Amino acid sequence: MTKVFPDVVKTIDGDIVEGSVVSADEEYLCIRQKGNSINFIQWRIISLISRNKEIIIVSHENNRKKFSILTTTTGNFSAKDISFKTTDKIQDIYSEEIVANRPFFLHEREQSEQGVTRVPFSSSQLKPQNAPQQNTVQQKKPWKGNVDAGLTIQKGNKEALTTNVKTDFSWERTKDNMYFNGLLLFETKDSVRNADEQRGTLKYERKHKRRLYSFYQESVEHDEIEKLNLRSITSTGFGYRFIEREKLKYKSEIGPSFTYERFRDDIHQTSPGLRIGNSLDWQILPSTLFYFKVDFLPVPQDLVDWRLESDMGLRHKLTKSLSLNLSWINQYDNKTSDENVSKNDATILSTIGYNY
């Protein structure tokens, strides 16, 4: 009797998914695992597929998939027993029956990307009306975020109150990514207000290749101590993901920017310039993340007019939903609006965060 082997998929990060391939399209490979659960895997993260006496090497060239198929006629992988061929068509490696299942699983995949975690599956004909058996599989959410908050109250010889709220949100899909982060900071000492500022940044990224992307970013800021009613920084350009691993990610981007500032005394300033951004995420331990983000904003026509904004910190998971966080947020303005305003504005935050 011929031994039947399951389909085994290996990702670029070394993860292994084992089961039976039930559907495939240009974007996803769909695998049925034990318990009739369904797993959607993006082709861009697949490196190898093994089945029976075949190994399929998946590569990506100019945003197109390429399959190198090694087949042995015996049980040995020897150069004398192996046949080799290449193709860029999914139909050449999977049967018409599997590719024909695409409409049903395309519908279920779209539901999973919208946050639906219940995926119906039946071993009968793959149509929604013929799927009475309901099984659940936890799909990976395309979005995630966190809200961090801290409060310090001091009474006695000195009276002080410090409150802060920091939030991050990301929504990542195959081609389009959205990011948002915000900060609210308020501090008084002996009834004197030392800090009262709010910041927010919204960013959109569009992937063109596996590592190359374009972006549009809008940042706004209000600072009562600096007498700043509004600072708006608009930037666009291109970025490149130099490192894209499971535990280490680094990307850099560059593009033109435009800054608009309105101060309390009805003073308006505008300045076109440049934005150079860098972002690093490093999963030091399974429960501890180190992150560092920095934006450099020079004005080419005025070499002394430049800003540097950075956010660096550690996030340590206490539970699945709670984390302990330490952040160092720094803003350096080489050309301030007033002589009494400090060039450097640094904030250290220790917060408890809720992850969702």
Query: Could you state, in order of their start, the residue ranges of all structural domains in the chain?
Result: 7-130, 144-355
Convert the pLDDT of each residue in 207-241 to its tens digit: 999 899 999 999 999 998 888 999 999 999 999 99
pTM for this model (two decimals): 0.62
Of 293, 333, 289, the closest CA to residue 311 belongs to 293
- What is the arithmetic mean of pLDDT over 306-325? 95
Structure confidence at residue 123 (pLDDT): 35
- Residue 281: what are its φ and ψ, rounded to 5°? -125, 125
CA 44 – CA 129 distance, rounded (Å): 32
SS3 category, 214: strand
H or E element, residue 103: helix 102-113
Contact assessment for residue 74 and residue 103, using Cβ atoms and an 8 Å cutoff? no
β-pairing, 54-61 vs 38-42, is unpaired
Q: What's the mean pLDDT when you consider all of the chain?
A: 83
- Residue 97: what are its φ and ψ, rounded to 5°? -65, -40
The answer on pLDDT for 65 being more than 80 is yes
Instruction: Considering only residues 77 and 123, tell me which one the structure prediction assigns the higher pLDDT.
Output: 77
Query: To the nearest 10°, the Cα dihedral for 110, 112, 114, 118?
Result: 120
SS3 category, 133: coil
Of 336, 292, 290, the closest CA to residue 316 belongs to 290
Structure confidence at residue 254 (pLDDT): 97
pLDDT band at 278 (very low <50, low <70, confident <90, very high): very high
Of the options 1.10.3720.10, 2.40.230.20, 3.30.450.20, 3.20.20.70, the CATH number for the domain spanning 144-355: 2.40.230.20
Structure confidence at residue 107 (pLDDT): 56
Structure confidence at residue 323 (pLDDT): 96
The answer on pLDDT for 26 being more than 90 is no
Structure confidence at residue 216 (pLDDT): 98
Residue 57 is encoded by which pair of tokens? 């090497």
- What is the arithmetic mean of pLDDT over 78-105? 74
pLDDT band at 315 (very low <50, low <70, confident <90, very high): very high
* 20-23 long-range Cβ contacts below 8 angstroms, 24+ apart: 21/51, 21/94, 21/98, 22/98, 22/101, 22/105, 22/126, 23/98, 23/99, 23/101, 23/102, 23/104, 23/105, 23/126
The answer on pLDDT for 124 being more than 50 is no
Structure confidence at residue 311 (pLDDT): 96
